[in-house]
């Protein structure tokens, strides 16, 4: 008897008093996340605009400078990020089905893939720093015969750097979700943080889907 | 919350496999040399298809409230306004930016 009461209570205890029910609370949170994602798109939009303006001014610079980027590792990172999007989608599915173990495992794989992405990015950056490809006026590399070569790499560092910061924040959010899931907070009626972090993670994936061909594949 | 759409594991794998395949395609088209504007058009077109797959089936816009889709489309429209008006200036300058 008392068991059923707690199960019933558990279904509604996450619902805050100013919402009609859990469904309304869920939809409201998701709407709020979409509004945030809109600001994220416009945030990155400014950088894409800079990319487009400079590419229209110096198209030959982009094809020359892009040869310094390693297509192989760019492709690997794309596959790693798409894989992590899949595991996030799987994590949400597990939560919807009340499979908390599956949720935690999928989050672990996602964190692992996100870290893989950052490690590859680290080696890419480290190699460039070593040969003097630094942003802006710190640029000392001689290998590209174009006086504006530093501009391409300033844009490269801004776009991939901001994206990398988003990946790191994503890793932090996933760890937070694992902690919550281990405390047994999520169940099929309440998994809003998983859903919303998932939306964020998929957007980070989409940004990379555009960054990859625009930066790595133009040579 | 019985109304939520739950994708099957198989379906999610199909979407991910399509995304892997399109990643391969977008790399593969750089091996054959497509002439200038069309290589960029191709790359962007493939990226748009991939983004649409993620938006519709990973972010669940396909099953979601249409209002969220509208928000997303609005953000893309404003992004195009940003690019459009900026290019109206920068494409038609006699002398591009002097110092950087």
Q: For residue B11, what pLDDT is reported?
A: 96
Interface of B with A in 23-42 (CB under 8 A): 23, 26-27, 30, 39-40
| Higher-pLDDT residue of A21, A42 | A42
Query: Is the model's pLDDT at B89 over the cut of 60?
Result: yes
Highest mean pLDDT among A31-45, A130-144, B28-42: A31-45
Q: For residue B96, what pLDDT is reported?
A: 66
Task: Tell me the CA distances in angstroms from A22 to A12, A13, A148, A177, A189, one per residue in order.
Answer: 7, 9, 55, 19, 8
| Band (A9; pLDDT cuts 50, 70, 90) | confident
Nearest to B50 by CA among B84, B27, B80, B77: B27
Q: What does the mean pLDDT of chain A come to?
A: 92
**Token couple for B76:** 């893309």
Query: Is the model's pLDDT at A1 over the cut of 50?
Result: no
- With a pLDDT cut of 70, the percent of chain B lying above it is 92
Q: For residue A139, what pLDDT is reported?
A: 86
Query: Is the model's pLDDT at B99 over the cut of 90?
Result: no
Query: pLDDT tens, B38-51?
Result: 889 999 999 999 99
Q: For residue A104, what pLDDT is reported?
A: 97
| Higher-pLDDT residue of A4, A59 | A59
| Band (A180; pLDDT cuts 50, 70, 90) | very high
* B62 reaches A (C-beta below 8 A): no
Distance in Å, alpha carbon of A172 to nearest chain B alpha carbon: 20
Contacts of A42 in chain B (CB under 8 A): 75, 78-79, 82
Nearest to B86 by CA among A37, A218, A160, A54: A54
Contacts of A86 in chain B (CB under 8 A): 12-13, 15-16, 58
Contact (CB<8Å) A45/B1: no
Mean pLDDT throughout B7-36? 93
**Token couple for A179:** 């902690």
Contact (CB<8Å) A189/B19: no
| Band (A5; pLDDT cuts 50, 70, 90) | low
Mean pLDDT throughout A36-41? 97
A22, A56, A83: residue with CB nearest B1: A22
Query: pLDDT tens, A185-199?
Result: 999 999 999 999 999
| Band (A183; pLDDT cuts 50, 70, 90) | very high
| Band (B2; pLDDT cuts 50, 70, 90) | very low
Contact (CB<8Å) A209/B54: yes
Helices assigned H by DSSP within A58-148: 59-66, 71-96, 100-130
Query: pLDDT tens, A118-172?
Result: 999 999 999 999 998 988 788 888 888 888 888 899 999 999 999 999 999 999 9
**Best residue in B23, B62, B90 for a mutation probing chain A (most A CBs within 10 Å):** B23
Query: DSSP secondary-structure letter at A141?
Result: -
| Band (B1; pLDDT cuts 50, 70, 90) | very low
**Token couple for A101:** 């173990």
Nearest to B68 by CA among A191, A74, A194, A38: A38
CB pairs A-B closer than 8 Å: 132
Is the separation of the CB atoms in A217 and B26 below 8 Å?
A: yes
Segment A40-46 long-range contacts (CB within 8 Å, at least 24 positions apart):
A40/A203, A41/A203, A41/B72, A41/B75, A41/B76, A41/B79, A42/B75, A42/B78, A42/B79, A42/B82, A43/A162, A44/A159, A44/A162, A44/A163, A44/A207, A45/B75, A45/B78, A45/B79, A45/B82, A45/B83, A46/B82
């Amino acid at each position: 008897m008392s068991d059923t009461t707690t199960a019933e209570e558990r279904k509604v205890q996450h619902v805050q008093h100013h919402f009609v029910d859990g469904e309304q609370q869920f939809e409201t949170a998701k709407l709020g996340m979409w509004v945030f994602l809109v600001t994220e798109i416009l945030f990155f939009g400014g950088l894409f605009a800079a990319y487009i303006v400079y590419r229209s001014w110096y198209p030959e610079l982009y094809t020359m400078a892009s040869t310094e980027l390693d297509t192989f590792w760019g492709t690997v990172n794309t596959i790693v990020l798409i894989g992590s999007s899949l595991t996030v989608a799987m994590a949400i599915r597990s939560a919807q089905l009340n499979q908390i173990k599956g949720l935690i495992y999928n989050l672990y794989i996602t964190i692992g893939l996100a870290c893989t992405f950052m490690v590859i990015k680290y080696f890419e950056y480290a190699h460039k720093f070593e040969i003097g490809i630094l942003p802006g006026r710190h640029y000392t590399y001689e290998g590209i015969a174009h006086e504006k070569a530093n501009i391409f790499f300033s844009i490269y560092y801004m776009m991939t750097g901001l994206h990398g910061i988003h990946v790191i924040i994503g890793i932090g959010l996933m760890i937070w979700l694992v902690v919550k899931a281990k405390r047994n907070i999520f169940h099929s009626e309440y998994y809003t943080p998983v859903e919303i972090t998932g939306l964020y993670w998929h957007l980070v994936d989409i940004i990379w889907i555009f960054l990859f061909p625009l930066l790595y594949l133009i040579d | 919350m019985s109304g939520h759409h739950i994708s099957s594991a198989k379906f999610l794998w199909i979407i991910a496999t399509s995304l892997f395949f399109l990643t391969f395609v977008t790399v593969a088209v750089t091996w054959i040399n497509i002439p200038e504007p069309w290589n960029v058009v191709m790359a962007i077109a493939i990226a748009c298809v991939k983004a649409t797959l993620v938006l519709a089936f990973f972010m669940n816009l396909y099953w979601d409230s249409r209002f969220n889709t509208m928000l997303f489309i609005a953000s893309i429209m404003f992004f195009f306004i940003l690019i459009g008006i900026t290019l109206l200036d920068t494409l038609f300058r006699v002398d591009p930016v002097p110092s950087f």
